[in-house]
Amino acid sequence: MNEIAILALDERSSWPENDVPPVLALRCTIGRDGSDENYLEWREKAEKLELRVVSIHVVSNEDAVAQIEHFLAISGLEPGQRAFFERHEDADLADVRAVLLNFAMRGGQDQPLVLRCDATMRDVLEDQHDPVLQRADLWILDNGGDEPDFPRKTWATWTLREIPVGGGSVFNGTLEEFQRWLG
């Protein structure tokens, strides 16, 4: 396992000073018409610094088709780039599934996905297998224990483990595997 820096916009001042260039995770869109007004500016700045940027769409309980159209219009996502999704507190698993399915139908069927799994999703999925969610790599929000708790009937393993205290994330693999995973 290697600690990596997948930082949110508000953590940009804490970029680590090591050999691993940080990956800046920017909240791009929220629902069918919300967006972070700083997204494009920070994306451009990060790219000038040769930092990798991942674009996050926050799934709400709104029209799934409109959410994906909005995300694709703003994100600048290129073929093969990973699309990151997280659940807004008003969205349930049906909303998340609908957005992921609509993303696939809109040309994202070959696009690699990452889904941030919070405690609510983990509790709901505890005893279920979900083939739609399973298609995405698992980005688990963790409580910081030795071994992360995640829905093992849907995912065999986790890819990213977000540590709330101290920030950043851990990649489940080597630095070389992480660089290949990013594409």
Q: What is the pLDDT along the chain (183 residues), one digit of tens a residue?
A: 334 444 443 444 444 444 455 677 778 889 999 988 888 888 888 778 777 777 888 899 999 999 999 998 888 887 778 888 999 889 999 999 999 998 888 876 677 889 988 888 888 888 889 999 999 999 888 766 677 888 999 999 999 888 766 666 778 887 778 778 877
CA 77 → CA 23, 61, 74, 101, distances in Å?
15, 23, 8, 17
Give residue limits of the domains in the chain: 2-182
Helices (H) and strands (E) in the chain, counts: 6, 10
| Region 2-182: CATH code | 3.20.20.80
Structure tokens at 128: 């279920």
